[in-house]
Chain A
Amino acid sequence: MNKHEYISSGILEAYALGELSEPERREVEHHLAGHPELRTELDQIEAVQEKLLQRTAITPRNAVKAALFARIDGQPPAAKGVSMPSSEARMWKFAAAASVTVALVSSYLAYNYYDKWKRTQGELTERIAQSQRVASDYNQVNQRLDKIERDIHIIQNPAFKRVALKGTSHAPASLAYVYWNEDTREVYLSVHELQHLTRENQYQLWAIIDGKPVDAGVFDGGDAGELLKMKEIGRGATLFAVTVEPRGGKPAPTLETMQVAGPVEKG
């Protein structure tokens, strides 16, 4: 093959224009592969062609683009799938992997939040119980405080007579006080020290009026220092005494079990 003649024939220009038949194309491509000079020549022809045609370029109306995309959308899917089947499959794999990941992450989060919610629920119940305990403690303290305030009022009130009941020979260490308001007939007892009683027995307070014992109520040992409200009694009591009696008390005192006694000071 004479390269110069081959080039001069204008076959490369025809090739670049796409004018050749399939056998002619293959022949040209065969020569191009073997002769770099032909390749260089063709490159330049292509460059000229491109530059020339770029000068004549016309921008199509925008409607063409819209119509084109409308046509692409209208095509059967097979036509679109051909050009990139592998990337589409990859995309599906990726999508599947992504959705599995999302599912895993969200179930983990869901479990996590359920767990947290459970624990929070437990803590809340505990806190509620705690605050209820605190409230009832506060109530008790409040009531106790009220009681103490009332007791102080009674102790400080000059209308109440304070009667010291000292231990008898049966119980020399025992001590109790009676606060008695003769006008209102109220009687309060403050136990300082009394012997422990069996369950069958109770203490009973007596007032001696006109030489006769009058029942002023029964009581258990009681808290030391606190005032116990006793039965009201009539006027003119001269002595108070405490005896041990069977539970519920008796109409007349058992003098052998007398624990404490003390006279009412005249005043």
Chain B
Amino acid sequence: MAEEVLQDVFLKIWDKFDHYDASKGKLFTWLLNVARNQAIDKTRSREISKDRKTDDIQNVVSKIDNEEYIEQRVDSIGVKDILKDLPREQHFIVEHLYLKGYTQSELADEFDIPLGTVKTRLRLAMQQLRITLGVTTT
């Protein structure tokens, strides 16, 4: 399914590229938003249509593969090192928002955290990561 989404994302970027406005933000951010929204839409639509229950074995296998893949990546040394300095609750937020594909409101609902708290925790985590990743304050 991840590969299917990837294809959708590429096509979407291709089609909507003239909507990108360099004055509003970095290209990477725009690409991220397109990709993330596409991925979220895809998983939601599958959940709503109960597609997962009728998935053939191939898709189930690949879904499991991909989930394991993401787990591996989160546990891989690079990201682990970056996130290790964060307090547990911030680590949790970053991991779920950026690596597990949750939206802020999903995260709030599912784990019973107020949306405002999700936002401020992310804010704090991002500030910490500036130091870890060496993004300089100008």
Contact = CB atoms under 8 A, between A and B. Distances in A.
A8 B122 CA distance: 10
Given A17-B97, A64-B6, A83-B15, A51 B135 contact: yes
Nearest to A33: B23
A42 interface: yes
A14 B73 contact: no
Nearest to A80: B14
Contact of A13 (B74, B122, B138): B122
Interface class of chain A by DSSP: helix
B33 A60 contact: no
Give the dominant DSSP class at B's interface: helix
A40 interface: yes
B46 interface: no
Interface in B87-138: 94, 97-99, 103-105, 116, 118-123, 126, 129-130, 133, 135, 137-138
A63 B7 CA distance: 11
Given A11-B119, A52-B82, A16 B29 contact: yes
Interface stretch (A67-75, A148-156, A244-252): A67-75
B3 A64 contact: yes
- Contact residue range for chain A? 35 or more
B106 to A, nearest CB: 10
A209 interface: no
Given A17-B104, A51-B133, A52-B129, A46 B3 contact: no
Q: How large is the interface on B (under 10, 10 to 19, 20 to 34, 35 or more residues)?
A: 35 or more
B36 A17 contact: yes
A83 B14 contact: yes
Nearest to A67: B7
B79 A50 contact: no
Contacts of A199: none
Interface string B5-18: 01100110011011
A266 interface: no
Interface of B: 2-3, 6-7, 10-11, 14-15, 17-18, 24-26, 28-29, 32-34, 36-37, 69, 73-74, 76, 78-79, 82, 94, 97-99, 103-105, 116, 118-123, 126, 129-130, 133, 135, 137-138
19 contacts: A10-B123, A11-B119, A14-B122, A16-B29, A17-B36, A18-B29, A19-B104, A44-B130, A44-B135, A46-B29, A48-B130, A50-B28, A52-B79, A55-B82, A56-B73, A58-B69, A64-B6, A64-B7, A67-B7
Counting from the closest, the 4 A-B pairs by CB-CB distance are A18-B33, A10-B119, A10-B123, A55-B78
Interface of A: 7-11, 13-14, 16-19, 29, 32, 40, 42-53, 55-56, 58, 60-61, 63-64, 67-68, 71-72, 75, 79, 82-83
